[in-house]
Amino acid sequence: MKKILSILSLLIIFCFQDINAQVKKWTLEDCINYAITNNIGLQRQRLLTQSKEADLLTSTMNLLPNLNGQSQLQVANGRSIDQSNAIAFNKNLTSTLGIYSNITLFNGFSEINTIAANKFMLKAGLESEKITRNALITDLIGQYYQVLYARGLEDASKMQLDLSEKQLFRITKMVETGKEALSKQYEIESQASADKLSYTIAHNTASQAITTLKQMLQLEPGSEFDVLVPDLNNTLITDNSFNPDSVYQLAAQNLPRLKEIEFELNASKKQIAAARGNISPRLTANGSIGSYYYNVLNAGDGVTQNSYSKQINGNLQKQVTFSLTIPLFNNFSNYRNIKMAKIRKNDTELRLELEKNSLYTDIENACLNYNRGKDEFAAANSNYYYNTKSFNAVEKKFEAGLVDVTDYSLAKTTLFKAETETLRTKLQLLIRKLAIQFYSTGEYENLVNGQF
């Protein structure tokens, strides 16, 4: 019987291990890669880019001549013109067919400039896609750090609860042996109860942070999800220094938020040239090949009519024409289009200048916040170090009966605040450094890989 129970116990352990193994621990890189591939908002942005590709293809194909075929079948009864150009009153059938084509030879280079404008708009669309992707990654990183902070608070709260339960166990034994008063046990029980409440709140907060990250990833309902928490104790805080002017010079060359507007500005210049092309003379060439077939349906037996092939070959007509159109007055629509194109160009220039000012402000604040964050982390880390030593000393005095529960609880609470503040300032410093490095490169992927 004992052997059977042992086998069942082993099977249960293995089953639990298999279940736990199925729950994937997601790293920050995993979250970003999944979101870039599956995020609906980013997929919609890619569709907008594809529409710009279609616009470019359409404008390019407009340079080619068109080619169309036409066929018409007519049955008439009454006065008509027969195949000998005489007036007839018979019931007849006429069939015409032909192919025609036209091409624009010159229109003030409007189509050429439209193609150039659409090329720049496609490039702007690609940069806009990068902006959407980077915004998504930024949100994911922010929430990932929220998860790490919440998990850190949960671990610190659990440590506080373990300390209280450890002291409660010790005091309970001493009360049973008469070495401590029962009131001291009640005080420790109260402290353990408060720590359990704090741990429960911290655990629920961490669960909510995990759920929020899962929702941002847009995972399938019911999907198991958990985060692989890195060892932050082994994460080095380097003594970097960043100059706002140097970072801005790199950001102006790399960030898609500036490139997008710059491409739109180049496109607007080409759109002005395209609009001006519409007030120039327009030269087009047209060509066609056609023929027709005529048959009298109620002709008598003595009437001879040519065959279908003979009539088609005999009535074949080829034509080439050139057309020159000079716009003289079009209700000022062309001049209005030119003016609107200039207005869009001026507005784009102002948007670019405004975005440059906003970018420099963001970079300057990021550098200042990082420098302040370094000082805060150094102070918090030092405070945590000394509070740890202080708590260890108070704990030994408490176990020796030299301090009461109030002093012990105060020292434990102070240590908890110091530990959580160290975690907060460290995570805050890491994310601020990541933001500055992003300004310098315009890409998050390589930075995230080496962050932890």
Interatomic CA distance for residues 373 and 357, integer angstroms: 24
**In which residue are the tokens 């000394």 written?**
386
Q: Which two tokens stand for residue 342?
A: 């200039």
Fold annotation for 25-64+107-280+332-449: Outer membrane efflux proteins (OEP) (1.20.1600)
Angle, helices 182-217/28-38, rounded to nearest 10 degrees: 30
Q: Which helix (H) or strand (E) holds 74?
A: strand 66-77
Please tell me the predicted confidence (pLDDT) of residue 87: 73
Over the chain (452 residues), what is each successive 10-residue block's mean pLDDT?
45 46 78 92 95 95 93 80 67 88 92 96 96 92 93 94 91 87 89 94 96 93 87 74 91 92 97 93 94 78 75 89 90 90 96 96 94 93 95 91 88 93 93 88 67 51
Q: What is the pLDDT of residues 309-357, one digit of tens each?
A: 888 888 899 999 999 999 888 888 889 999 999 999 999 999 999 999 9
- DSSP class of 325: E
**In which residue are the tokens 């000079």 written?**
326
Backbone region of residue 13 per phi and psi (left: phi > 0; alpha: psi in -120 to 50; beta: other values): alpha
Q: Spell out the domain ranges in the chain.
A: 25-64+107-280+332-449, 68-105+284-326
Question: Roughly how many angstroms between the first and final C-alpha of the chain, as a whole number?
Answer: 50
Cα 147-417-192 angle, rounded to 5 deg: 90
Q: Is the dihedral of CA 73, 77, 81, 84 positive or negative?
A: positive
Q: What is the pLDDT of residues 28-76, one digit of tens each?
A: 889 999 999 999 999 999 999 999 999 999 999 999 999 999 999 888 7
Please tell me the predicted confidence (pLDDT) of residue 17: 47
DSSP-assigned states of every residue in 362-427: HHHHHHHHHHHHHHHHHHHHHHHHHHHHHHHHHHHHHHTTSS-HHHHHHHHHHHHHHHHHHHHHHH
Contact in structure between 231 and 426 (CB atoms under 8 Å): no
Please tell me the predicted confidence (pLDDT) of residue 286: 95
The pTM assigned to this predicted structure is: 0.82
Interatomic CA distance for residues 223 and 240, integer angstroms: 40
Closest-CA residue to 451 (of 240, 235, 234): 235
SS3 102: strand
Q: Which two tokens stand for residue 178?
A: 């008469």
